[in-house]
Amino acid sequence: MKRICLSVTGMLLLFFHGFSQTTTPASDEYKSTSLKLEDVNIVSGYYSQTGNHSPVTGGIGTQQLTDLSNTITLKLVNWDFNNRKHSYELELGIDHHTAASSAYVSKTGASRKGGTRIYPSYTYKVENEEKRTSIGIGASYSHEYTYQSYGANIQFTKKSKSNNTEFDAKANVFLDRVRMVEPSEIRPVPVIITSASSRNSKSATPLTPRNTFDASLSLSQVVSQRMQVALLADGVVQQGYLGLPFYRVYFQDHSVHIENLPNSRFKLPLGVRLNYFIGDKLIIRSYYRYYTDNWGVTSHTASLETPFKITPFVSISPFYRYYIQTAANFFGAYATHTAADKYYSSDYDYSAFTSNYAGVNLRIAPPKGVFGLKNISVLELRYGHYKQTTGLLANNISLNLTIK
């Protein structure tokens, strides 16, 4: 898998290098009505985690998991005769993950130990510089072994006359289907059918719907030459089957059941972001978010990132994030639920915990291109270490290339 990713990345670099050489750069005064490639972003990441509270085995057992992700984003632009900028963004992501706990969906250990997720998306946006507005629409799709999702969104942006204030609004809808792959010991007994009837049967593992609707608003303000502030608000409504059919829950009598969650959920995150420029070399980026939902979860997130310019073209950014949350009303550890409970889950994502996430980001953007390659304008390398009070530990590293 790694060799394939490196080979694909290499071919893409050669392709876009050649593409850019045949494109005549437009001057600042002339805005081409012809479609041109503005930039390409290639992101590759590796994530690994360990822990001992797998929901597949009822809140006990290994959480060992690895994920290799690759995303490529192409942005093309042109201007119409009314001097409006049109942007077309195409993205393709492919993740491949392996999870030790997935082998225990079946007691025989014969289940899939990994999977691949493919998620393309498309966004179209029109920007009117004279009116200082932009509007966009988008569509997305995601598919893996037990899950598929169709998404659509619309977004609107308005800037003030001075460009010091910006208002953004975005609405999303995701229509998902969950494949009902249950633990092997509690799956329904399969119906025996004749070969003649099977030819006319379209029976398969059933799909259960899960729909998500969310709206987000943000208001950004340049307070002074050194300070910027943004206020953020989201509202999320989910309906349908919100659990996973292969997550076990063991009751006090040691009987095994499938996770059972409410069929609706409302989430309300509220946040504020503040950036402060200290001289020409140091920026302080701070963020706070308050979250609550109708499942009983309340959380607080605080993060700080401090980009520092080592040279005009190289910067390093240490970052830290602290998170704390309360447990959902229906969460219970292994063998603590009883038959009197209407809803139940032993997924530690719904437990009370605190977490710490720290790392560093390195950004290189020389005027003559990264490693002397003119078309590679930016290289970013990011590493982070995550620790949760439940015992979950994770590390991730990502590489981002921007090609002009």
Half-sphere exposure of 10 (CA within 13 A, CB side): 6
Q: Which residues pair with 308 in a beta bridge?
A: 282, 316
Predicted confidence band of residue 3 (pLDDT cuts 50, 70, 90): very low
Mean pLDDT of 211-222: 98
192 has pLDDT over 50? no
Q: Cα 107 vs. chain centroid, distance in angstroms?
A: 31
Q: From CA 89, how far away is CA 346, in angstroms rounded?
A: 40
Q: Which two tokens stand for residue 96?
A: 């491949």
Predicted confidence band of residue 372 (pLDDT cuts 50, 70, 90): confident
Contact between 244 and 180 under an 8 Å Cβ cutoff? The reply is no
Mean pLDDT of 219-227: 96
Half-sphere exposure of 171 (CA within 13 A, CB side): 4
Contact between 94 and 118 under an 8 Å Cβ cutoff? The reply is yes
Residue with tokens 């307070």, as numbered in its chain: 223
List, in sequence order, every beta strand (DSSP E) within 279-352. Answer: 282-293, 298-305, 308-311, 314-325
Chain segment 91-146, per-residue pLDDT in tens? 999 999 998 887 788 765 545 567 899 999 999 999 999 999 999 999 999 999 88
The mean-pLDDT minimum among 14-18, 183-187, 217-221 falls in 14-18
The mean-pLDDT minimum among 18-22, 71-75, 93-97 falls in 18-22
The mean-pLDDT minimum among 172-186, 199-213, 252-266 falls in 199-213
Q: Which residues pair with 387 in a beta bridge?
A: 356, 393
Helical segments of 211-327, H only: none
Q: Which two tokens stand for residue 33?
A: 């009505």
Element (H, E) at 14: helix 2-21
Q: From CA 303, how far away is CA 325, in angstroms rounded?
A: 15
39 has pLDDT over 80? yes
Contact between 53 and 390 under an 8 Å Cβ cutoff? The reply is yes
The mean-pLDDT minimum among 100-109, 186-195, 273-282, 302-311 falls in 186-195
Predicted confidence band of residue 23 (pLDDT cuts 50, 70, 90): very low
Contact between 17 and 373 under an 8 Å Cβ cutoff? The reply is yes
The burial class, CB within 10 Å (0-12 / 13-18 / 19+), for 39 is: middle
Q: From CA 101, how far away is CA 96, in angstroms rounded?
A: 15
Contact between 154 and 136 under an 8 Å Cβ cutoff? The reply is yes
Contact between 317 and 361 under an 8 Å Cβ cutoff? The reply is yes
Mean pLDDT of 377-381: 96
The burial class, CB within 10 Å (0-12 / 13-18 / 19+), for 371 is: exposed
**13: which DSSP letter?**
H
pTM above 0.75, yes or no: yes
pLDDT of residue 30: 59
- Mean pLDDT score of the chain: 88
Helix (H, G, I), strand (E, B) or coil at 16: helix
Q: From CA 207, how far away is CA 187, in angstroms rounded?
A: 15
pLDDT of residue 104: 80
pLDDT of residue 78: 95
First to last CA, the chain: 27
Q: Cα 11 vs. chain centroid, distance in angstroms?
A: 26
- Structural domains in the chain, sorted by start: 2-19+34-190+201-403 (2.40.160)
Chain segment 136-177, per-residue pLDDT in tens? 999 999 999 888 999 999 999 999 999 999 999 999 999 999
Q: Which two tokens stand for residue 266?
A: 């409302």
Q: From CA 295, how far away is CA 346, in angstroms rounded?
A: 14
pLDDT of residue 204: 53
Torsion of CA 299, 240, 260, 342, to 10 degrees: 90
Q: From residue 22, how far is each of 18, 372, 404 by CA, in Å?
A: 7, 19, 13
